[in-house]
Chain A
Amino acid sequence: MADAAATAGAAGSGTRSGSKQSTNPADNYHLARRRTLQVVVSSLLTEAGFESAEKASVETLTEMLQSYISEIGRSAKSYCEHTARTQPTLSDIVVTLVEMGFNVDTLPAYAKRSQRMVITAPPVTNQPVAPKALTAGQNRPHPPHIPSHFPEFPDPHTYIKTPTYREPVSDYQVLREKAASQRRDVERALTRFMAKTGETQSLFKDDVSTFPLIAARPFTIPYLTALLPSELEMQQMEETDSSEQDEQTDTENLPLHISPVPLLSREGSLPCTEVWMPPSWAS
């Protein structure tokens, strides 16, 4: 069994390829591998002198062989990683075999036995390819300072940004127009919605929908809504307070009642020096 496994592992095997009916490439791959193993098992059986074998026993033997080889591979990988490598070396395999209780010294002799059968190498089947639905562009190779054993870059679409180039609108007139019509549309839609969903009044008896007026509804405390600034205004005030209006102050703020010359002679002795301050200064 062990020989068979070694042969299969080292040389691979030819087999009749006929797995075209399967659609999935990954499945194809597995099927092909298994067939190769079956060929190996069969040839070993032939070598051992069997003329025929039940299918079930061949399958069982194949299964055992596969497990054995898998275990060798897994264990060898562990040893190799244990010593901080990625590629198993011969000694890894040897240690593995030893660990599994296999007498390594018998191996060269077995390999060179006379009655051995050579099976043809299986055709190279395509590695299953991950679906490429989301790939965009080429995977980038590692830059030189990154060791090649590091994982590859992920698919480009996960990190590459593709700026779309459209000229930003900077024309003042268009901007203003846009802002104005946008606001107007929003306002109209909003008020229409309110009018549709609530009571309305109309200026025309025959038509209530063209100029719907939201019905007047008395407030319980009318002065509150009338006097308190709305939240929007408060917010706006805070914004403007901190930002740009300051610079306008110096240039544009002229006193309210400018007169070229104070009319001193006319009205007593109080000159018109004091100006009504904008409310914000007073506070």
Chain B
Amino acid sequence: MLTNKWCQVFKKTFGEIRVLLLSLAFSLLSPLPRRNLNYFSNAYAAAVSAVDPDAGNGELCIKVPSELWKHVDELKVLKIHINFSLDQPKGGLHFVVPSVEGSMAERGAHVFSCGYQNSTRFWFPCVDSYSELCTWKLEFTVDAAMVAVSNGDLVETVYTHDMRKKTFHYMLTIPTSASNISLAIGPFEILVDPYMHEVTHFCLPQLLPLLKHTTSYLHEVFEFYEEILTCRYPYSCFKTVFIDEAYVEVAAYASMSIFSTNLLHSAMIIDETPLTRRCLAQSLAQQFFGCFISRMSWSDEWVLKGISGYIYGLWMKKTFGVNEYRHWIKEELDKIVAYELKTGGVLLHPMFGGGKEKDNPAPHPHFSIKHPHTLSWEYYTMFQCKAHLVMRLIENRISMEFMLQVFNKLLSLASTASSQKFQSHMWSQMLVSTSGFLKSISNVSGKDIQPLIKQWVDQSGVVKFYGSFAFNRKRNVLELEIKQDYTSPGTQKYVGPLKVTVQELDGSFNHTLQIEENSLKHDIPCHSKSRRNKKKKIPLMNGEEVDMDLSAMDADSPLLWIRIDPDMAVLRKVDSEQADFMWQYQLRYERDVVAQQEAISALERFPTPASRLALTDVLEQEQCFYRVRMAACFCLAKIANSMVSTWTGPPAMKSLFTRMFCCKTCPNIVKTNNFMSFQSYFLQKTMPVAMALLRDVHNLCPKEVLTFILDLIKYNDNRKNKFSDNYYRAEMIDALANSVTPAVSVNNEVRTLDNLNPDVRLILEEITRFLNMEKLLPSYRHTITVSCLRAIRVLQKNGHVPSDPSLFKSYAEYGHFVDIRIAALEAVVDYTKVDRSYEELQWLLTMVQNDPVPYVRHKILNMLTKNPPFTKSMESPLCNEALVDQLWKLMNSGTSHDWRLRCGAVDLYFTLFGLSRPSCLPLPELGLVLNLKEKKAVLNPTIIPEAIAGNQEAAVNPSSHTQLVGFQNPFSSSQDEEEIDMDTVHDSQAFISHHLNMLERPSTPGLSKYRPANSRSALIPQHSAGCDGTPTTKPQWNMELPRKGTAGLRRWGEGGPLRVARPPRLQGSLGCGCAPDPSPVLPKGQLER
């Protein structure tokens, strides 16, 4: 989808013959057909598939003149030049131009390509499909002070005659799809990796020291991947670029990754270090699988995401340890389970066409999962998460050794293929498909994993187990009952083996149960008699033998604890019932961090002194995994609150904290900070936050705790510390915020300073001081400001401080650090919900439309969806027709430059209004509904024509490969200048009826190819009439390009960018001047000036 209002295609030369081209402004739907999300999502899916490059469709179609057909038949080379310019691009390329004095380079202005999935067509015409490979030669002419970074090897840098500009020549000899092409231009500081000279890092001015530190670790990631894959990094060089206002934190392209500059950190920062390293490792994994090996079609995406996520997991295991890895897997599993249960499933391998669809009704009613570009962002992240988990399941099945062999095979085939020049049929080895991947697996391992694939890949949903047990003393048998819930949305039935681990007095035993259709109960023989008088050590799973105090357990039973599916070999949620002492034993003695965490979350339900003791013990145990200990803090707080009336001794964790972190001589003063031991650092950070959640009998935070936290802040001393304490201080503010309880309000008095609670006054004092100090001595990533803003919102929400969004709005302005902005916006979103402010909602939506930073726009929609001002089931004064109109318009035309944003708008619309007609709209006429039924499509005949017109045109024309079409959305704000008279088109009755006919066919791209040509014939003249004129307007640009263009892209090799009548061989060359700023009046993008 070109989708580019800002893209003008001037001329295309076809040998000798010139053909007119149109600039296309593809808009989805006109706003007329009213507000039915079902309808929208169908139309949107149809529109996207109509231009889906994977299916051979597109927006820019080039007619091969009949004179040339014989050349095609003779397998001759056709060279095609497309000259175009980008005029204030809204998507595809993002310009960051700080408004300070100085030249562009001094200001740190930069530009980079960005987008979600295949979005390269936003910035140059191409066949934007991951499956269309070719080699590349890229030329970028930029200001001499700038550096252009792109894919492949930098062959040379040539100055222009006037010495004011430079041309960077890049050459990428490994066949790569256009979607993996990227570009970043800016006054970058350059660092050649001291360990690997083929790796170069780029960052914005002044950040070089941070870059040095941040990337100093990267070579180890390289070594790890190369070792496990037994394969060299496929590209001859690798570049990392750190830029501001990033679209996503990590974007991997061929031989180059674009990162957010906010990942850079100095040696003093603890918390960011593992996160940044993870991002680096992630991007590198995607270099192998995702960039070098790319996908055949969207339905094969899961393989790539799965493999890259899987090897990234192996890296995590090696780098951060097994505990961290297992914790991560559990976290990811919990996330995907929660998401699927909430929304109804994530399908990894959406299959097109055919009957499959009917067996498995689309799990996502409000968007289509057949295209990457119609997916909700959240779904896509969950999709990636599930993909790597499934890959892990495959590993469990066939062993890691085979798994790595499969990867190695894929890579070596691909690298053999990539070295073959001009034999594009070989290059298909560089594409991975689901079937190809499965075939490799069966070849390598000889195992049949079809059932596994069928269960997790071809089907959506997770498994929900309920486990309960009884011990039969007579038979010495454990009767385990495992029920499944496979009727609620997002679940599926599981049939197959299930591992159960039983810890008995005599040791730990694994049992594999066969879960079958009807069997619920399983008898598991126990190995040990219930005997406890003998003092004997109890062997654990890992061979360790420990002494336990067995007095708590049931005298008749030898069972200590039972775990269902301990290895997470099924994507499942397990609710198992055990007695509280069993959970406590599990927490204390099971060595698996996942089991410990399960025990902690289960113990929340058992507020007893014994649970308290178990949790405290874990907290104190230094050998215990720090994340478990952190979780124990929060659990302990909950338990303490539940047993508040019987609680004895000081507030939970206080004495523990004092013992661990305070001075021996004066226990109320915390030691000066020393964060050398990271586990205790994390614990020290977390404990006060959890303590602040404690409540006394009046449901207030105990005074003692508040004083304690205030003292921690007061005595915090970081002078002797090697590390920054900014995260620690931020968490202290979080702790203060946690301690806030709702204000006792007497008949809704106005909140003033005089009736401020004295405790709150103290809290506010601290917040004020911290927030003000941040202005003078800002902390890393402004963590403290972020926490302060959150805390202020908490105070507002609890009625201590007058609720007022103006402070947050000032922090949300463009120009603040992005974390601050997001925190402030989150507060405004919350305000909008609590105070039902239409004005703020409008303010937010305006920001969604106008903010310069794509990530912020996306995030606002995301936060509004997560914390909606109202939902479909709710009456709200905010829900009115104007809002519906506004959102609808946003979905339709306001977001055509950013898939992610559009899908975000769709998500929000769904949350607010649901699938069907929003309740605040007037009822439609009855006749329309009847028509709907007759047509068997969810379409309303009176509203279809305009709606689908655009899509269908797009759908029809690519297949005809003879016609150039332009689409125009008359409602889109920026599209006024080139008006294509859609009205006249619509007036044509033939046109409408034609499109109604089209709609009845499945609009799958595959089928659209075979539409009879004659059904189009009526359309063509109309289109041509409507579209004439536009492209011819500015021929002079053409002449200017050579000296104006800042970037020239040239592409050659097999499989040119054009879909031309299935040419057996097409040697295409596409030369284009890609000028980020062709027009001198534009404020943005004038990098060359």
* Chain A residues within 8 Å of B, Cβ to Cβ: 172-173, 176-177, 179-181, 184, 187-188, 190-191, 194-195, 201, 203-207, 210-230, 232-233, 236-237, 240-241, 244-245, 248-249, 252-272, 274-276, 278-280, 282-283
Contacts and interface: CB of A to CB of B under 8 A. Distances in A.
A256 B320 contact: yes
A222 to B, nearest CB: 4
Contact of B753 (A195, A201, A210, A216): A210
B322 A190 contact: no
B666 A220 contact: no
A97 B795 CA distance: 104
Contacts of B591: 259-261, 263
A267 B206 contact: no
A240 B781 contact: no
Contacts of B624: 258
Contacts of A206: 752-753
Contacts of B265: 227, 279
Interface in B809-848: 810-811, 813-819
Contact of B817 (A187, A225, A263): A225
Interface string B82-113: 00000000000000001110000000100000
Nearest first, the 7 closest Cβ-Cβ pairs linking A and B are: A218-B815, A191-B772, A257-B321, A272-B321, A173-B666, A272-B322, A226-B817
Contacts of A275: 321
Interface string B656-680: 0000000101100100001011110
B807 interface: yes
A245 to B, nearest CB: 5
Contacts of B626: 256-257
A221 B264 contact: no
B817 A228 contact: no
B623 A259 contact: yes
B724 A229 contact: yes
Contacts of B99: 220
B776 A194 contact: yes
Given A216-B813, A221-B108, A241-B722, 4 more contacts: A214-B775, A223-B244, A228-B206, A240-B720
A182 to B, nearest CB: 11
A176 B717 contact: yes
Contacts of A179: 717
Contacts of A173: 663, 665-666, 669
Contacts of A255: 321
Contacts of B724: 229, 233
Nearest to B567: A266
Nearest to A263: B322
Nearest to A207: B753
B666 A280 contact: no
Nearest to A277: B217
Interface in B770-801: 771-773, 775-778, 780-782, 792, 795, 801
Contact of B317 (A190, A253, A260, A267): A267
A228 B209 CA distance: 9
Contacts of B818: 222
Interface in B605-640: 622-626
Contacts of B715: 176-177, 180
B802 A220 contact: no
Contacts of B674: 245, 248, 252
A280 B213 CA distance: 9
B978 interface: no
B811 A236 contact: no
Nearest to A181: B714
Interface stretch (B14-22, B41-49, B540-548): B540-548
Interface in B886-903: none
Interface stretch (B158-166, B761-769, B993-1001): B761-769
25 contacts: A172-B665, A181-B714, A184-B714, A191-B768, A191-B773, A194-B772, A201-B806, A203-B802, A216-B810, A217-B775, A222-B815, A224-B207, A227-B780, A236-B719, A245-B721, A249-B676, A253-B676, A254-B622, A257-B625, A259-B322, A260-B544, A266-B567, A267-B317, A269-B400, A274-B318
A225 B277 CA distance: 22
Contacts of B314: 270
A240 B168 CA distance: 44
A184 B715 CA distance: 10
Contacts, number: 254
B323 interface: yes
Contact of A229 (B268, B323, B765, B768): B268
Given A216-B810, A253-B676, A272-B323, A227 B722 contact: no
A173 B666 CA distance: 6
B319 interface: yes
A190 B776 contact: yes
A234 to B, nearest CB: 9
A271 B325 CA distance: 12
Contact of B206 (A180, A224, A274): A224
B326 interface: yes
Contacts of A282: 216-217
Interface residues on B, range: 35 or more
B316 to A, nearest CB: 10
Nearest to B204: A223
Nearest to A221: B98
- Most central of A217, A232, A240 by chain B CB within 10 Å: A240
Nearest to A260: B623
A213 B768 contact: yes
A216 B772 CA distance: 9
B780 A226 contact: yes
B677 A253 contact: yes
Nearest to B821: A222
B556 to A, nearest CB: 30
A204 B207 CA distance: 39
B320 A283 contact: no
A211 B768 contact: yes
Contacts of A233: 268, 724
Interface in B210-235: 210, 212-213, 216-217
A260 B591 CA distance: 8
A191 B768 CA distance: 9
A191 B566 CA distance: 54
A258 B810 CA distance: 45
A263 B542 contact: yes
Nearest to B810: A216
B409 interface: no
Interface string B693-728: 000000000000000000000110111111010000
Contact of B810 (A201, A232, A248): A201
B210 A227 contact: yes
B261 interface: yes
Contact of A187 (B267, B773, B792, B795): B773
Contact of A257 (B323, B765, B781, B792): B323
Nearest to B813: A218
A269 B403 CA distance: 13
Contact of A172 (B261, B666, B677, B802): B666
A13 B342 CA distance: 125
A183 B323 CA distance: 41
Given A173-B669, A226-B262, A227-B781, A213 B772 contact: yes
Contacts of B752: 204, 206-207
Contact of B811 (A216, A232, A265, A279): A216
B778 A280 contact: no
Contact of A213 (B395, B663, B771): B771
Contacts of A232: 777
Given A195-B772, A227-B265, A278-B676, A220 B815 contact: yes
Contacts of A249: 676
Contacts of A187: 769, 773
A204 B756 CA distance: 11
Given A187-B769, A191-B772, A222-B815, A265 B676 contact: no
B919 interface: no
Given A190-B776, A240-B722, A205 B261 contact: no
Contacts of B206: 224, 228
